[in-house]
Amino acid sequence: MTQIHPDPHLISVAPMMDYTDRHDRYFLRLIAPDIALYTEMITAQALAHGNPQRLLAFHPDEKYVALQLGGSDPALLAQAAKMGEDFGYNEINLNSGCPSPRVSSGRFGACLMLEPQLVADCMSAMQAQVSIPVTIKCRIGVDHQDDYESLHHYVETIAATGCNTFIVHARKAWLAGLSPKQNREIPPLRYDVVYRLKQDFPGLKIILNGGIKTSSDVDTQLQHVDGVMIGRAAYHNPYLLADLQYKYMNNKDILSRYEIIKKMLPYIHEQLSNGIKLNTISRHLLGLFQGQRGAAVWRRYISQNAHKPGANAGILEEALNLIANY
């Protein structure tokens, strides 16, 4: 099993809907043994009324792995947090940063920043049910409530519950008029606001999220905050995490891209035997050779063949052979 780094939040991969599922997390763990991984957001209501085994199951080799929850009902969130702990997650994280209209209509995500006391009640309820850390992810503001005083009050209110880890996306959220994609790009990044939070709350762990794409970006941000959370860059260029693992973590035994795929094969065989389609897994592997000779060949061959009936792990082996001879 993966050895957990003393500070798993130093480098983490953001929870991303439709991206960071269990197959992607298994893949990322092969690249970087010590970064923190987060699930896609799972709502407390879905856990209360759905199939927890289907929603929460994960491979033990994924650890350190955190469960991100969405919701605004303290009792339901407490119940969901307890389920997460029982399933073996290392951390529970509350989403108060997602700007999706669908999320906001359900009274969770970024709109919760407008109700700090409700969020504090939710955090307290979860903390009362679990012994693992309960953390929170937020934005620097919402709509026209984007003054620093409101953010300070929000963090202060949540910290009073005992929460000491805040993952802060350094953009504000517009709940109307911008799509989730636009909310990741149009509101300007305000790293200075996150730095000020760290200065004002030196006893809290402040993790910065937003716009981090390169190893040098990470180097810069770690001079000001306690950790960085990487989003789409970790998905589209996943081997970036190998560089960060080598730079910042104790384990320097980094697998090559070819070794990673070879180690994925038994996992893929197992998943296919359980009825999972190859392209459900292989879509996460397309960016592995980004910036390398043969990267386009790799992407194209898998994209053209992984979805075909009966496609199996041999598709990946064939793609490896193609780029090895490219």
Residues with active-site annotation:
98
> What phi, psi does 292 have (nearest 5°)?
-105, 160
Residue closest to 123 by CA, chosen among 186, 87, 171, 81: 81
Count CA atoms within 13 Å of residue 220 on its CB side. 10
In sequence order, what are the beta bridge partners of 268? none
322 contacts 294 by C-beta, under 8 angstroms:
yes
Beta bridge partners of 209: 169, 229
148: enclosing H helix or E strand = helix 148-159
Strands (E), 71-198: 91-96, 134-139, 165-169
